[in-house]
Amino acid sequence: MHLIDGNQIATALIAELKAEVATFTGRKPCLTLVRVGEDPASVSYVKKKEKTAAEIGVTSRIILPPVTITQAELFALIDGLNADPTVDGILVQSPLPKHLDEVAVFRRVSPDKDVDGFNTLNLGKVAQEDDTGFVSCTPAGIMELLARSGTDLKGKHVVVLGRSLIVGKPIALLALQKRAGANGTVTICHSGTTNLATLTRQADVLIAAIGRPEFVTADMVKPGAVVIDVGINRVPDATKKTGYRLTGDVHFPTVAPLCAKITPVPGGVGPMTVAMLMKNTVKAFHLRAAL
């Protein structure tokens, strides 16, 4: 069993981006992060993004609107950032407070600044295999992990567990693409799937993004499979100082011994998401410079 080290791969990618940004003269790429509310996970994610941006040489601006902000006010804020020529990338941290329509907010971000890759146009570009768009960061990070760990999807049966817009649907589209490293045969499973274990056991590459702690057990995995665990779940644990431990969607202790390769949680897909956000921001900078 080979552990796919997301921290190591993300570090290599960040070093490449840092070297690239160091060659830029004049203005550096600028990423604006909008965080509404004090969701603990969101607070730590934004801090991590800010720290990584600083390491690469990307300018980051943090905007913290009040949790009471209305949809119209948030739209006006995004419109201002869309129009600002010094802003290359915009990320609105999810989850948003319940009174705000998250999908409408993602759509409001200009497609050419949508470094999170959630705008309808960018999702459409993934389907059309159009490289001028932005791929959402977690699926892009999974493809990078697979490529850099020597896993070619060509001719492989890829089973995606989960159908979210953030991971499930885009990773399925990326795995299907007619390009080097992809060309997989893809099955998407979800809460409405019957005989789930029968399908997951057929996977050469299993991507678990179902959001349920330790859901994937040894009886669901084919020996020799590559398993990518996208889940980050907080499970109560009295032995930890925080009162919880982080676990993935895969029951690592029993599944890992079966696998050819597997990502750990934490330290697998998570670090890649932030690295790919930075890669998208640098890409946005190039696209704006070319206008």
Nearest Cα to Cα of residue 272 among 234, 235, 233, 228: 228
Angle at 158 between CA 156 and CA 159, to 5 degrees: 150
User: Dihedrals φ, ψ of 213, to 5°?
Assistant: -60, 130
Catalytic position from the list 49, 113, 261, 279: 49
Catalytic position from the list 88, 112, 114, 116: 116
Catalytic position from the list 88, 93, 279, 283: 93
Instruction: Say whether 205 sits in a helix, a strand or coil.
Output: strand
Half-sphere exposure of 37 (CA within 13 A, CB side): 16
* Amino acid identity, position 203: A
Q: Where would I find the H helices in 109-213?
A: 120-127, 137-148, 168-176, 196-200
Interacting residues of 19 by C-beta distance below 8 A, sequence separation 6+:
none
Angle at 218 between CA 217 and CA 220, to 5 degrees: 75
Decide if 169 is catalytic.
no
Decide if 93 is catalytic.
yes
Count CB atoms within 10 A of the CB of residue 81: 20
Give 205's strand partners: 158, 226
Decide if 79 is catalytic.
no
Interacting residues of 151 by C-beta distance below 8 A, sequence separation 6+:
205, 226, 261
Q: Rounded to whole angstroms, how far apart are CA atoms 41 and 58?
A: 22
Which residues participate in catalysis according to the annotation? 49, 93, 116
